[in-house]
Structure formats: C-alpha cells, structure tokens
Structure 1
C-alpha cells in the first residue's frame, strides 16, 4: 500500500469522506485487520448518526467520559486517603466517644501504614505503563480500582487483628493509585481535541481535590456516628461501583465507542497526526535527555512533597498538635481542597487569556504555586492550641497556591510531550509515590512527639524544597513540543 493510499470499503472502490477521516494521519500502513476495524467503526458511527438518540450527550459524549474518569480517579485517591483521616479516630487517645473499640498504633506503625500506599504505587507504576500501552485503560484501570475497593473494605477487619495487617491492603490501594497520573495523560491524549487538552488535564487533576472533599467530611461523620471501620466499607463500595461503571462505559479508543458520532470523532481527531499510534515505541532515551522534561519532574518533586504534607498530615496536625476535635477537624479539612479546586479551575481558563508568552506564563504560574505554598506553610510552625482557624487559613492558602501547578509544570508536560504525555506523567507518578514514602518518614523522624517546635522544622524544610525545585523549573522549562514529540516511529 502506498503512503497516500486510502482505505476503501469492501463494497466500493473509492473511499468516501468518512473513510478519509479514518485514514492514518501519520501516513502509516494499516494491516488488513486494521482496515476491517476502521470500516466497522465507521459503519457504527454512521449508523448512530442516522438512527440518532440512543446515547446521551450526542456529539459531546467525550465529556461524559471525562466526568466518569474524574469520578473513578476520585474514588481511587479517596481509598488511599481514607486511612490518613480515619487514623485519628482509630487511635486510643481520641477523646470523643467510640462506636467500636479503638486500635492502638504507635507513630512508627502509623508511618509504615501511611507509607505502604506509596510503596505499592511506586513498585507498580512502570509495569502499569506497559499494561496500559498494551491492553488499554479500560480493563487495566477497572480491575485495579475493583481490587482497591475490596482491599479498602478489608482494612477494617485487618486492623482489628493487628495494625500491620493493614499493609497488604494499603499496598493494593497503592497499585490503583499508580494509575492516576498515567490515566490523566492517556485519557486527555485519546479523548481531548488539541484545543481542549488544557481543560481535560485540569479536570482530571481535580480528582486530587475532589477526593479530599469527599473523604474528609464523610470519614468524620462515619467515625463518630457509625464507627471507624464503616469509613473503609463506604469508600470500598463506591470504588467497586465506579470500576463496574468505568468498564461498562469507557473504550480505549474514541473511534471504537458506539456513542461517538462521526462529527464528534472528527473534532476529537483534529491534530491526531502528532499523536503516536498504539504499538509505536516510546522514545525513552530522547525523553530522558530533555532538559524541559527534567524541569517538569523536578518541579513535581517539590509540589508533591508540599501536597503530601498537607493532605496526609493536616488532620493529624489539627487534632494532635492543636487539639481540634475530630468532627470539627473533618469539617475544617474540606476547606483547603475546595479553595484549591476553585483556584485551579479559574487559573485554567485565565492562563489562556493572559497576553504573555507561554513560557513566561509557565514560570509565573509555577512560581505563584510553589513559592506561595511555601510562604503560607511557614507561619504554621509558630502557632499554638486554639489557633485552629488560623491554621486552616494557612493550609487553605498554601494548597490553593499549589492548584496553580496545573498551569505551570503540569501544563508544560502536555505542551512539550504531546502524545507521549502519558510516559512523562508516569514518571511524575513515581515522584509522587516517592514523596508519599518520604513525607511520613520525614515527619516520623522530625516530629515524633507532635510538638509545635518539632513541626516548625518540618515546615521550614518543606519551604526550602519548594523554593529550590521551583528555581530549577524556571531555568529549564519549555513551552514548545520537543522534536521527539512530533515524530512518529515507523
């Protein structure tokens, strides 16, 4: 087949417009099986166009896929996050009434259990990239989320045997957690038109805030009203329902979905000539040698450490250091993620309107994110009991600043890597996992007694990390696609 030859259907010698749409953008040869699949998919979309309204959001079904994925990523994060809050009402020294016997855990055991989720994500993230590349997100993500739900339900009975028996369940939660960043890249690359990639990335990354908004108040309510084990049961059930819904509605390719019309597929596929086809080799070495990619990875190291400190230890800091009651801790803990979500959405739209060069905008937004977070964390080391409201203001301001990262280092990743964003984000996921292991270890070593003097050093160290990693990003960052991002392997 010549490079310019188009796919013809079995019943006609000349390709129609729909078949030209499905011809490979990168002028790559298709196997006979690929040709049959393309024709079948075309006929499916034509049939839908003619018969109409069996699917909702006609011509906009990609947004249903976006919402579904955001919900499932939220459940994935919520499962891993559930222990971070529930630990304060599982422990013996909680002063509020218990609906079931508490579990005695040492600082060392808590750190191991918190860190085990990150360990599971760390060891599975690179195999996961291989699985996603070969089998697609539909089956891989659905299975991992389903088993994450089962593992979360099992945490309650396991904790009653011994706290360390929770480790296998937490590791399984980590397996599912390792999908978050690669899924963000994979779904936005497959389902978003080039003109909407920024919106897709912003919304998919919002799962981090939505998981806190869901988990914190729900955990506080269930801890006090039904007992701490009900927190794990509720989160696990939501994850199982989400996994079944994802498997039922998602497809690995937009062109294979029965609810995607020919018109919508044309919108989605615009610019697809710069997207690698499944089976193309990933230019690992070229990516690893690129300075702008390292700028993204280093910036995310600082961002992840700041984010994990707030997400993992804000409830502990409020309850154990400032003596804020459990129910009020849950209520106050949803304020920071709500403000971050609002800031992230507003910034995502504003960044496209500011009349500055793209690279300058990346530097400004990333600096506002990381330097702003660092500045608002520092005062937390100088407050005391009774300052819970001021602490919430500082936490809310710091994590809200981190929401601007979606217009800084995260946006830079999509701009420079394009169709290989999923691999760049997979490495980001590794960095996030390392931070999940590092932060509990750092807190256990520096603030083992949960005194304000010890926490002062924690906040100061995170301040330095955020400032230094942002400086590296500003020097090395890029805003244009790298050469390997525009070249398809044949």
Structure 2
C-alpha cells in the first residue's frame, strides 16, 4: 500500500512542464539569455563605436525617404540627437581585436575554481553574484569606453570572470535537481537561452545603434540582466528540500530518482583518477572540437554575410541571427527526444549520447563543406547555415552533457574544466580563421570550413571509441588523492 501510494504521489511530477524543476530551467534560460546578450553586445555596438565604421553608416541614413509627417520628422530629429551624443573612438583593428578578446581573458581564469566552489557551496549565490556583476558592469561599459582603452579592457576582463560564474556554476544546480531521465531536457531548456540571446542581440543590436545610439545596447541588456537577478535570488534554491513552493510529490520523485547515485560533492577531488579516465577525456576532446566550429561560426557569420554575400550591416545582423533561433528550437527538441529514448528504454543512454553526437557532427560537417560551392546563391547559403546550426545543437544532448552521466558528484568542477578547453578552442579558432581569410580571400573560407570539419570529426571519432555513460569508479567513492 505504501509503495503504491508513493508511486501515485510521484507520477504527476513526471508529466508536463509545470513543475518547480522545469520552472528553474526556464529561469536559468533567462539568465543565459541575459549573459549571451551581454557577451555579444560589444560585437554589435563596436561597428558604431569606431570612427571608420560609424561614418560608413551615414550614407545609408541619407537615402531614407523624406517624410512630411510631423511626428516622423520629430522622431528623426530625436534619433539624430541620440546619435550625436554617442561618441566614437579611434581604435585601430588591432586594438579592436584586443578589446573583443578581453572577455575571453577573464573567462580563462575562472571556470575551474568557479565550478569547484559552486559544487561545494551551492550554485545559487555563485550564479546570482556572477549575473549581477556582469549586468552592472554592462551598464558602466559606455563610461569605461570614455575613460580609455585600458579601463574598458579591465571592465571586460572582470565581466568575463563574472559571466563564467553563471555559465559554469549553474550545472551544480542540476546535480541536486535533475532526475537522470530528465537531464537532457532540463539542461537544454536552460542552455537554449544562450542561442535565444544571440538571436535577439543580432536582430535588435544594429537597429538600436542606428536608432538611438550604441550606448543603449549596453543599457538595455544590462538592465534586463539586473531584472533577472531579482527573479533568481527570490525563486531559486540549491536543493529541492529547501524550496518553499515545491510539492511533496515532486520533492519525493527527485530525491528518489537521485538516491541511486552518489551525486553529493565533496572537498576532495580524485585528480589522478580523472587524468587517467578515457571517458572523461572523450568529453574534454569533444568540447574542444565542437566549440572550435561553434566559436568560428559565432564570430564570423556576420562577416561571411557582409563579405561573401555582400549584405549590408542591418541585413547581415538579421541573417546571422536566423541560425541561432533555429538552433535554440532544435536544442530543446533534441533534449526532449534524447530523454524520451533513454527513459522509455528504447536505446541505452550511451547509445543516445553517441547517436546525437554523430548526427550533430556529421550532418553539420556535410553542410559546411557544401557552403563554399553555393556562395553564388544567397537563399541556399542562408538555408545551409540554418541547417548547420540546427544539426550542431543536437550535440548538447550528446557528448556535451555526458560529464553529468559519468561523474555527477563533480559536475560543477568538470563543467569548469570543460569550459576551459572550450575557451581555449574559442581563442584559437577565430585567429586561425582570420589567418586563412587574409591569406586567400577567395578560397580562405573553404579552408576555414575544411579545418573546422576535420577537427570536429576527429573529436567525434574519439568520443565514439572511448565515451561511456556509467558513473565512473572515481566518482563513486573518495580516493587517496586530494585536490
């Protein structure tokens, strides 16, 4: 009778998206949305912040159709006033490159310690503090730019550290909140906010710069981040048992589903065992290889549209946003499908992870290799870039979430470790891309896509050979090696 009653109480918590754990996923989606808009804001605004690009926009403004309507004339005058008070700077291409890269300098410093601290002390205050610091610094970036290049870079470095606190620390939440059979859907719902943020900032950023001036790009997205902080601190708790609004049935379901695994972090870290673990290296290599392609496409998609397809700045931003919105949708659908296949025992969990990784890598690789040969067709190029992003998003339900399968106990620390390799990849790939394009303007893009494909497929092969989904022995018990 007690067993039947318990199952009756737990069953409703398994259905639908109206649960506290799914609400937590949507709050994290908003947080990731805010962080990604703040990450991308400068990439959009810098075109209006620099003298040579700012002046190139003026001819486009001069060809607008004159209006006899008074309200329209008033709006045009107001817009000119806004743009007049927005300063421009004499930043050379080298200085621009350093400024754009400065966010990554801070990002390289923080992932491992942030993941470790969040895993031990809980993610609520780590993630909340990171979001608050990044949002406030976003509001002050226009003042930092006025103060000079050095203060501006310092603000960006600190902002990079704060943003890592959000992107790394949040995975410690799922150690206590995500049942194993829902891990893919919860993490992909939360992670989809990043792609949604990139989509919105690419769509709206250029329009904001043209309409009311580039400082408002930072003011608006910084303000949204501050609002998300209020939501985060008031509704998020580290563990289900401490949440005031969770139902007894949902709490029982989560705790019982996690009872079979040792998912509670400790101060000790089995470093030697981690270094020798091939399944862990399979995930690390996958992170590096897949983020090579992602970083390349995120950094250079607007450039590809403007140089190869000769689109203007506004259209380039809008077209560049399309792959990210489709990727956001496919990311969520992929997570739901992966959990469906594993929870219904249709496929083993490791089969699901490898299948989704293989589909995501191979199909996106085929699409990228086709791109250089269809550059004369505008619509075909756009369609292929959209397909590439859609296929790549399936990897988030494959190798990119696999670290929670093999070592949930050290999820926060491992997420930080993975992000370090992702940032290293993100620092190298744009530089390599710029080298290829500068060497050969006609076929440089072909070389960029070939290299990205070769690296990505290499990572897939390594993961298919050594990837596992069982909790590793070093993640089940303490060892004699400590951190």
Alignment of 1:308-319 (within 5 A): 308-319=295-306
Which of residues 355, 358, 367 is equivalent to 1:364? 355
The answer to whether structure 1 residue 417 and structure 2 residue 378 are counterparts is no
Which of residues 372, 379, 387 is equivalent to 1:389? 379
Q: Cα distance, 1:302 vs. partner?
A: 1.1
Q: Cα distance, 1:164 vs. partner?
A: 5.4
Structure 1 stretch 338-347 or stretch 400-409: which is displaced more? 338-347
Which of residues 361, 373, 376 is equivalent to 2:367? 376
Which of residues 182, 185, 192 is equivalent to 2:171? 185
Distance 2:424 2:17 in 1: 42
Preserved contact between residue 104 and residue 423 of structure 2 (Cα < 8 Å): yes
Which of residues 58, 61, 81 is equivalent to 2:20? 61
1:351 aligned counterpart, secondary structure: helix
TM-score normalized by the length of structure 1: 0.81
Alignment of 1:17-166 (within 5 A): 60-91=19-50, 92-93=52-53, 95-97=56-58, 99=83, 100-163=86-149, 165-166=151-152
Which of residues 192, 203, 206 is equivalent to 2:189? 203
Structure 1 stretch 228-237 or stretch 390-399: which is displaced more? 390-399
Distance 1:166 1:380 in 2: 37
Distance 1:333 1:241, change over 3 A: same
Which of residues 151, 156, 180 is equivalent to 1:194? 180
Q: Cα distance, 1:404 vs. partner?
A: 0.8
Structure 1 stretch 100-109 or stretch 111-120: which is displaced more? 100-109
Distance 1:412 1:134, change over 3 A: closer
Which of residues 217, 228, 236 is equivalent to 1:242? 228
Structure 1 residue aligned with 2:441 = 451
Preserved contact between residue 184 and residue 205 of structure 1 (Cα < 8 Å): no
Q: Cα distance, 1:180 vs. partner?
A: 4.6
Distance 1:477 1:181, change over 3 A: farther
CA RMSD, 1 decimal:
2.8
Q: Cα distance, 1:249 vs. partner?
A: 1.9
Structure 1 residue aligned with 2:243 = 257
Distance 1:221 1:412, change over 3 A: same
Distance 1:459 1:401, change over 3 A: same
Distance 1:429 1:341 in 2: 20
The answer to whether structure 1 residue 480 and structure 2 residue 470 are counterparts is yes
Q: Cα distance, 1:219 vs. partner?
A: 0.7
Q: Cα distance, 1:72 vs. partner?
A: 0.8
In structure 1, the gaps of 5 or more residues are: 1-16, 22-56
Q: Cα distance, 1:308 vs. partner?
A: 0.9
Preserved contact between residue 192 and residue 329 of structure 2 (Cα < 8 Å): no
Structure 1 stretch 390-399 or stretch 176-185: which is displaced more? 176-185
In structure 2, the gaps of 5 or more residues are: 7-15, 62-82
Q: Cα distance, 1:165 vs. partner?
A: 4.3
Structure 2 residue aligned with 1:461 = 451
Distance 2:382 2:319 in 1: 7
Q: Cα distance, 1:398 vs. partner?
A: 1.5
Q: Cα distance, 1:169 vs. partner?
A: 2.3
Which of residues 277, 284, 289 is equivalent to 2:271? 284
Structure 2 residue aligned with 1:339 = 326
Preserved contact between residue 58 and residue 261 of structure 1 (Cα < 8 Å): no
Q: Cα distance, 1:309 vs. partner?
A: 1.0
Structure 2 residue aligned with 1:330 = 317
Alignment of 1:193-232 (within 5 A): 193-232=179-218
